[in-house]
Amino acid sequence: MYSYLLFKSISCIEYVFKDDYSIDMVVLKEAISKDEGLIGCYEQKQSVIAGTLNISEKSVWSSLKRLSKMGFIRNGYIYAPENIIIKGGYYPLLIDSGLKATLLIFYSFLKSRSELNGGWLVMSKTKMSSAMMITRCGITQLLNRLYRLGLAKRIGDKLYIR
């Protein structure tokens, strides 16, 4: 949810985009640092967010409440620390993939990490579980679903994400 809101909030800031529609990281960094890491939060009805992410409205509500308690959403602003933006701590959700809920988030996470190595990912289930805050058993189940859909393939100790 945080990545989705952060990505949408950044996409609402028109002046951070270059002519080729890529993000100018220097301008984005300046925009975030001048407002102490806060960006105007992407405003959308919870039902629309739920429909976009294919999750229930109750899940959206609980996620927003949790983000608020953790301090990532404050008075209509989303907290975007510079280290998360620059190091790529957020990732865009691949909504067009046709996946739903947790599998969508997990696949988007793996895809963003694997793009640096041409689709290959060397990451243990323990690291995945700590990064995603899901149990190792849950990671195994999600990976098995991706294998069945043909979106991931394990070859030796490496994972290939399509």
pTM beyond cutoff 0.85: no
pLDDT average, residue stretch 107-117: 81
The alpha carbons of the chain give a radius of gyration, in whole angstroms, of 17
Q: Could you write out the DSSP letters of every residue in 101-160?
A: HHHHHHHHHHHHHHGGGTTEE---HHHHHHHHT--HHHHHHHHHHHHHHTSEEEETTEEE
Contact (CB, 8 A) for 155 and 148: no
> Of the candidates 116, 117, 121, 118, which has an alpha carbon nearest to the alpha carbon of residue 152?
121
pLDDT at 34 over 70: no
pLDDT band at 71 (very low <50, low <70, confident <90, very high): confident
In order of their start, the domains of the chain are 1-90 (1.10.10), 91-162 (1.10.10.10)
Mention every residue, 6+ apart, whose C-beta is less than 8 A from residue 62.
none
pLDDT winner (highest mean) among 36-40, 76-80, 134-138:
134-138
pLDDT at 26 over 60: yes
pLDDT at 102 over 70: yes
What is the rounded end-to-end Cα distance, in angstroms, of the chain? 23
Percent of the chain with pLDDT over 90: 1
pLDDT band at 112 (very low <50, low <70, confident <90, very high): confident
pLDDT of 89 reads 52
> Of the candidates 161, 40, 147, 58, which has an alpha carbon nearest to the alpha carbon of residue 111?
161
pLDDT average, residue stretch 83-106: 66
More confident residue, 102 or 96: 102
pLDDT of 121 reads 82
